[in-house]
Amino acid sequence: MSFRVVRSSKFRHVYGQALKREQCYDNIRVSKSSWDSTFCAVNPKFLAIIVESAGGGAFIVLPHNKVGRIPADHPLVGGHKGPVLDIAWCPHNDNVIASGSEDCVVKVWQIPDGGLSRTLTEPVVDLVYHQRRVGLVLWHPTAQNVLLTAGSDNQIAIWNVGTGEVLISLDCHPDLIYSACWNWTGSKLLTTCRDKKIRIIDPRKGEVESEAIAHEGSKASRAIFLKHGLVFTTGFSRMSERQYSLRTPDALNEPIVTVEIDTSNGVMFPLYDPDTNLIYLCGKGDSVIRYFEVTPEPPFVHYINTFQTPDPQRGIGMMPKRGCDVATCEIAKFYRLNNSGLCQVISMTVPRKSELFQEDLYPDTLSDEASLTADEWLAGEDAEPCTMSLKERALLVQGGYVAGRSTTLTVTKRNALATPRDRERDKEPERSPTPAARDAPPAAATPPPAFTAMVEKQLSDLVEEIRKLKSVIVKQENRIRALEATVKAGLAPPAPSPPAPSPPSPPNNHDDAMAPDEV
């Protein structure tokens, strides 16, 4: 007699549910670029999708409440001279998004609350460094205003967006860079390259700590850092079979597990949820989303289920956990782009009978606060990401989290000729405020007396003008009433005096001819 033991996990019964069409986004001209990108980025405020645009590159930004059919003339974010290849929302400011394009320029944009009312063409800052197209943009998980970009020139640049300067440039890849990922604290960088190797890099030292061949196939591969330091990769075998593997950073060339999935030719994007240790595999051109759970027990990567749809997907975006609906036990939300122009919203939920907050499903998750400034990170400091409790800070407004604050990205250009003493003096104002200082209410400012007197004089002049206008209106009303009474009484107003007689006109043989003084 044999017994089959069922693995115990609270995520064994996770299931996906697609929202109704009227709750999704329709009539979107998704980009037809062949670049291996997700074409979509989501945060708790906005949904951004790279779209087709004549005369350059553009992407559309939609608030989450603007569902249904999108008008063809909806405002876009369009300042690039070439097609947009990748976009990424800033994890510490829900109104800031970065975009990379074929025009070799990275632009950082500030999106106003409520979305765009007209096409946005002026970015906050232009980041110019790469010599060829920029196909990858990635924000730092813990440091404020630190952005990584990678181009087809095989270069990686790490920027301080607050000053528009390149902090670090890495030239350690012999070929095209496919993907990049920070570890949990942002101290290490994991990349995949066309030479089939994955590399773990110390970005501040510019050294490659370890490298190994991940997948034997020649097609694009992806790699991500898991929360506890493991490395998860997707790619192709020598026989073009899609596969995934799990590795340790100390032995990249010896995978813990390697599993072949199928023989499709679409690149698989691994989307990772660090709170639940779930990995969602979404392939370009696939009609399914597979999800797995990573655990310390063999076989370490456990298959859970597959979400099936009838249409193939062109791109996909994943909502951060603070944008999920905790009332329905939603643990993930995906925005799936179809070739037909529909952005389908898919909700992944864990069935629970209780309507109370489920603390085992929602541990403290990543917040929108930065742990470090760019200068602190560059100096060698590391810190855990700031976290928040969804039970305390989530505002369930129409089934989701609504950010309670909005900040503006400001760019400060540094003086290249400044002395070290000047830089030390100017260093303190450039530091980002602490979370406590940001949350404190602003101090009330007292205007100067001269300003108050000027305002009072302007108000008194305005009141005097209004009084004069009222008197004119009263006079006109009295005159109109007198004229109406005259008309009703049958008394015609005095006739005007007759005009002076005009001299006789010369005779004209043609009756219908015009007089000399007629027009």
- Does the CA dihedral 391-42-20-284 come out positive or negative? negative
Q: Rounded mean pLDDT of 410-438?
A: 51
Q: What is the pLDDT of residues 104-147, one digit of tens each?
A: 999 999 999 999 999 999 999 999 999 999 999 999 999 999 99
The region, left, alpha or beta by phi > 0 then psi within -120 to 50, assigned to residue 112 is beta
Judge contact between 351 and 13, C-beta under 8 A: yes
Percent of the chain with pLDDT over 70: 83
pLDDT at residue 414 tops 70:
no
How far, in Å, CA of 273 to CA of 331, rounded? 9
Measure the CA–CA gap between 102 and 135, rounded to whole angstroms: 8
Residue 389 token pair = 């409790």
Query: Half-sphere exposure of 519 toward its Cβ, with a 13 Å CA cutoff?
Result: 0
Residues, the chain: 519
Question: Mean pLDDT over residues 249-269, rounded?
Answer: 94
Q: Please give the residue that has the higher pLDDT: either 68 or 441.
A: 68
Lowest mean pLDDT, pick from 33-37, 103-107, 287-291: 33-37
Q: Which helix (H) or strand (E) holds 487?
A: helix 449-488
Give the residue, 517 or 87, on which the prediction is more confident: 87
CB 365 within 8 A of CB 322: yes
- E strand intervals along 38-124: 40-42, 46-51, 57-63, 68-69, 77-80, 84-89, 96-101, 105-110
Task: Report d(CA 217, CA 511) in Å as an integer.
Answer: 98
In the predicted model, is pLDDT for residue 186 greater than 60?
A: yes
462: buried, middle or exposed (CB in 10 Å: 19+, 13-18, 0-12)? exposed
| Mean pLDDT within 37-49 | 96
Q: Which residue has the higher pLDDT, 315 or 443?
A: 315
Predicted confidence (pLDDT) at residue 421 exceeds the cutoff of 80: no
Q: Residue 245 corresponds to which tokens in the numbers above?
A: 């593997």
Q: Which uninterrupted H or E stretch holds 377?
A: helix 374-378
Q: Cα(502)–Cα(376) distance, rounded to whole angstroms? A: 96
Task: Report the pLDDT value the prediction gives residue 443, as an integer from 0 to 100.
Answer: 46
Q: Which residues of 350-387 are buried (b: 16+ CB within 10 A; e: fewer)?
A: beeeeeeebeebbeebbbbbbbbbbbbbbeeebeebbe
Mean pLDDT computed over 450-476: 84
pTM of the predicted structure, to 2 decimals? 0.77
Average of per-residue pLDDT across 220-234 = 96
What is d(CA 109, CA 77) in angstroms, rounded to the nearest whole number? Answer: 8
- DSSP lists the bridge partners of residue 87 as 99
**What whole-number distance in Å separates Cα of residue 61 and Cα of residue 97?**
10
Between 38-52, 150-164, 432-446, 473-487, the lowest mean confidence (pLDDT) is in 432-446
Residue (of 142, 124, 91) closest to 373 by Cα position: 142
Half-sphere exposure of 133 (CA within 13 A, CB side): 14
Question: Has residue 445 got a pLDDT over 50?
Answer: no
Host H or E run for residue 194: none
pLDDT: which is higher, 493 or 306: 306
Q: Return d(Cα 52, Cα 31) in angstroms, integer.
A: 5
Helix (H, G, I), strand (E, B) or coil at 378: helix
The burial class, CB within 10 Å (0-12 / 13-18 / 19+), for 429 is exposed
Percent of the chain at pLDDT > 90 equals: 70
> Under 8 Å CB-to-CB from 256, ≥6 apart: which residues?
230, 245, 246, 247, 248, 300
Instruction: Render 418-482 in DSSP notation, one character per residue.
Output: --HHHHHHHHHHHSPPPHHHHHSPPPPPPPPHHHHHHHHHHHHHHHHHHHHHHHHHHHHHHHHHH
Average pLDDT over residues 464-472: 89
Q: Tokens 């992407």 appear where?
A: 59
For the stretch 302-315, pLDDT in tens is 999 999 999 999 99
Q: How does DSSP assign 268-325, residue by residue?
A: EEEEEETTTTEEEEEETT-SEEEEEEE-SSTTSEEEEEEEE-SS-EEEEEE--GGGS-
Q: What is the pLDDT of residue 210?
A: 95
Mean pLDDT of 475-498: 77
- The count of other CB atoms within 10 Å of the CB of residue 3 is 4
Q: What pLDDT was estimated at residue 408?
A: 72
pLDDT of residue 226 exceeding 70: yes
CA 333-78-74 angle, 5° bins: 65
Please give the average per-residue pLDDT across 229-256, as a whole number.
95
Q: Find residue 177's DSSP bridge partners.
A: 193
Given a cut of 60, whether residue 391 has pLDDT beyond it is yes
- For 439-456, what is the mean pLDDT? 59
